[in-house]
Amino acid sequence: MIKTAKQTLALLAGLGVGLTVSTSAMSATSLDQVMKDRGLTQKDLLAAAKTYTPTGGRDEYLAFASGGQSGQVIVYGIPSMRILKYIGVFTPEPWQGYGFDEESKKVLRMGNIQGKEINFGDTHHPAISETDGEYDGRYLFINDKANPRVAVIDLHDFDTKQIVVNPVFKSQHGGAFVSENTEYVITAAQYATPYENKFVPLEEFNDKYRGGMTYWKFDRKIGRIQEDKSFTVMAPPYSQDLSDFGKGPSHGWSFTNSFCSERYVGGIEKGRPPYEAGCSAKDTDFMHVVNWKKAEEVYKAGKVKKINGASIITMETAVKEGILFLIPEPKSPHGVDVTPDGKFIIVSGKLDSHTSVYSFDKIMTAIKNKKFESKDPYGIPIISMKDTLHTQVELGLGPLHTQFDSKPCVAYTSLYVDSMVGKWDYCKGKVLDKISIHYNIGHLMTMEGDSKSPDGKYLVALNKLAIDRFNPVGPLHPQNHQLIDISGDKMQLLYDMPLPLGEPHYVVAIKADKLKPVNRYKSGWNPREDKRSPYKTRAGREKTVKTPGKVEVFGTTIRSHITPETIEAEVGDEVIIHLTNLERAQDQVHGFAMYGQNVQMSLEPGKTSTAKFVVDKEGVYPYYCTEFCSALHLEMQGYLLVKPKGYKAKKGKMQEGVSYTQADYEKQVKTNIETQAVIDSVVGFITSHNYQDFKPVVALVEDATDQLGFAEEAKKKSEVAAAKKDWQNAMLWANQWWQYQVKTADMGLRAKTYLEEHGAKKVK
């Protein structure tokens, strides 16, 4: 039983330990005592030791989970299961400024459907780009089922760069999955619809409604999907489900399930039995086997039909060219997974307790010998199940998805109805182990489990229901990702992680050291387009340009001020604010939010972002930095003043809150001289060490040098004012000089600590 802190204290009191127990006495509690207090077993401790990551520790794997209906991607570490980031993809995400600055709005709006803004996504399957069948850690793809879209996330900065809309599908579940060298990203339709954007009565379902598989061409050099080089293989209205690409010997082929080859159309309201009855009536559905290499040739030869601007390989062409084949598979299947060696395709039927292993070799033999058992109503050849099956294994109820171990022939399959994971040997067709999960597992995932060489080690069970696993938080429960140790013969459950952000259908995990994300941008960078922003502004070059009907600001942010601190506009003006974050040190982010304008930018070091809006009401609109960036973060503020049309400024002096004297000025200067001495000693320490060998320190030193430069300018301004006996400005500029010194010292000390902690060597 887990005890609250209060209960623990009460317990200690009961044992005669005073309630004035000091923290040091608390931390001296023995392990035995903690186990007793929290009701933990040896097994629990072992599990804890396998996941616990001490402060500053890193995870061995990074997982990218779909965020389900949130339209985002969730990044977490394995084995700690600590959430590291939510990446805004199909949904605005204010923290990242995603959907609030002009640069990211452009990306989000690529996802408009027939001109309509869509502000969510039902993300399903993330896929990491591959080179030679291995995760290369460069890009992440994810599909949206509700609106047939795919997004490209660059893992260089974990930002969404592109959204493409499928021009012919109206729903899209079976993706994203990538081919061996990320030549293509596949997505399959789910609910059949007419390809054209027009009305077709349901009575014409068999003739006019279609499914299909789209092959999105990915250009690795530019990191974008090329819609004009992508094509779709049209398929019957069979409700295509998941897909997977072949690898190794099966490279060049892809496989897609279907779950309603009955082509049933429901209509409860008209007295027809519902879809669920009609779509599960037959004993088998069809696996679609596609020769995509051949399809690519056919596409390149121009043997396509154009619909809504997309290139479509019709079923007729697909049959004639030997591109599309069908194989029966057990009742309403769900997952289709190609084994790491590319020799087998594993299919699980939700309504059949068997998991079927198809042999790619046998499929090829049947195709070569034109040995088909029949044709479907569209003339597509059907290869018989028994000619292509390698084996079938009775694993348990409701098998769904399969992932692989580093050990040859070992696979893990989720058993939805049984709420279990089954470990089995797909070569010999033998069950090896089973473990219960909580509850109703959907997908499951092993480390690099989709690649040619899975790492094994851990498995994550993505459970559809959490029921009673966590503290209740109302009727909508968090999802439950369970971490399972698969390094031994027996699976061991280690940890339950609640995920409170939509239903994450699938997740992929990559060895963390394969990822090389940057922690700052080149200065003046537009990350959404990966190029220098034309609005990049350097320190001292800030300006506001007023033209009729428009105010355009070229500003900067640096600890701890936004330049400009006042923006003036007239009612009806369009206000455009470009801000460049001048910081170069790691994690030195500024934000920018404004009252009443739906503006929130995230300015990571080096980034340039733009906010654009029309001010239709006069008034005073404060703006400020939204990241607690420094001791004077709250002072990182300013005002947008929107004046009525034709407003004439009254002559008047600024009302000062405090008047400063010569004595105030001199006192400040004295402080500044003392501060400079501290800075000099820190600089002395840094420059006398090999600090250039430490990248984060170099960035800190660059920033500190900038700040020191600003300090020098402020110092000069205070001296000019002092010479004029303008003590007000002399004192304020002297204080600003000190502010810059403080920031210099802060960064200098961070650099010094880093050098000390990382064993820097003395060089002079």
Summarize as ranges the residues that interact with ligand RUQ (CB under 6 A).
Answer: 124-125, 173, 242, 334, 400-401, 442-443, 505-506
Helix (H, G, I), strand (E, B) or coil at 650: coil
- Count residues near ligand CUA (CB under 6 A): 7
- Asked if 247 is part of the footprint of ligand CUA (rule: CB under 6 A), the reply reads no
The one-letter code for the residue type at 739 is: Q
CB closer to ligand CUA out of 585 and 629: 629
User: 627 is in the binding site of which of ligand CUA, ligand RUQ, none (Cβ under 5 to 8 A by kind)?
Assistant: ligand CUA
CB closer to ligand CUA out of 138 and 590: 590
Task: Give least dist CB 590 to ligand CUA, A.
Answer: 4
User: 255 is in the binding site of which of ligand CUA, ligand RUQ, none (Cβ under 5 to 8 A by kind)?
Assistant: none
Interface region with ligand CUA, contact rule CB under 6 A, candidates 26-34, 128-136, 517-525, 627-635: 627-635
Edge to edge, what strands does the sheet with 240-245 contain? 240-245, 253-258, 284-291, 324-330, 381-382, 374-375
CB closer to ligand RUQ out of 211 and 442: 442
Read out DSSP for 140-174?
EEEEETTTTEEEEEETTTTEEEEEEE-SS-S-B-S
CA angle, residues 247, 251, 257, in degrees to nearest 5: 80
For residues 462, 468, 473, 474, the Cα torsion angle rounded to the nearest 10 degrees is 100
The 558-597 contact track toward ligand CUA, x by CB under 6 A, reads: --------------------------------x-------
Q: Please select the residue that binds ligand CUA; options are 625, 669, 704, 751, rule is CB under 6 A.
A: 625
User: 595 is in the binding site of which of ligand CUA, ligand RUQ, none (Cβ under 5 to 8 A by kind)?
Assistant: none
Task: Give least dist CB 332 to ligand RUQ, A.
Answer: 12
653: left (phi over 0), alpha (psi -120 to 50) or beta: beta
- Asked if 633 is part of the footprint of ligand CUA (rule: CB under 6 A), the reply reads yes
User: 590 is in the binding site of which of ligand CUA, ligand RUQ, none (Cβ under 5 to 8 A by kind)?
Assistant: ligand CUA
CA atoms within 13 A on the CB side of 450: 31
Identify which of 489, 510, 512, 401 has the alpha carbon closest to the alpha carbon of residue 447: 510
DSSP strand pairing (561-563 vs 590-594): unpaired
d(CA 233, CA 299): 10
SS3 readout for 75-124 = EEEECCCCEEEEEECCCCEHHHCECCCHHHHHHHHCCCECCECCCCECEE
Identify which of 57, 4, 78, 33 has the alpha carbon closest to the alpha carbon of residue 509: 78
User: 633 is in the binding site of which of ligand RUQ, ligand CUA, none (Cβ under 5 to 8 A by kind)?
Assistant: ligand CUA
Task: Give least dist CB 158 to ligand CUA, A.
Answer: 21
Where does residue 600 rank: exposed (0-12), middle (13-18), buried (19+ CB within 10 A)? buried
Task: Give least dist CB 241 to ligand RUQ, A.
Answer: 8
- Asked if 636 is part of the footprint of ligand CUA (rule: CB under 6 A), the reply reads yes
CB closer to ligand RUQ out of 259 and 521: 259
Where does residue 545 rank: exposed (0-12), middle (13-18), buried (19+ CB within 10 A)? exposed
CB closer to ligand RUQ out of 126 and 223: 126
Instruction: Name residues whose C-beta falls within 8 Å of residue 182's C-beta, 6 or more positions apart in sequence.
Output: 129, 130, 131, 136, 139, 218, 220
Helix (H, G, I), strand (E, B) or coil at 11: helix
CB closer to ligand RUQ out of 105 and 125: 125
CB closer to ligand CUA out of 263 and 633: 633
d(CA 611, CA 658): 35
Name the one residue in this structure whose structure tokens are 């994550």. Answer: 460
Interface region with ligand CUA, contact rule CB under 6 A, candidates 35-43, 52-60, 513-521, 629-637: 629-637
User: 173 is in the binding site of which of ligand CUA, ligand RUQ, none (Cβ under 5 to 8 A by kind)?
Assistant: ligand RUQ
Task: Give least dist CB 239 to ligand RUQ, A.
Answer: 13
User: 400 is in the binding site of which of ligand CUA, ligand RUQ, none (Cβ under 5 to 8 A by kind)?
Assistant: ligand RUQ
Which strand (E) or helix (H) includes residue 578? strand 574-581
Which strand (E) or helix (H) includes residue 188? strand 184-188
Task: Give least dist CB 635 to ligand CUA, A.
Answer: 9
CB closer to ligand RUQ out of 506 and 691: 506
CB closer to ligand RUQ out of 172 and 339: 172
CB closer to ligand CUA out of 149 and 590: 590
Report the interface residues with ligand CUA, using CB under 6 A: 590, 625, 627-629, 633, 636
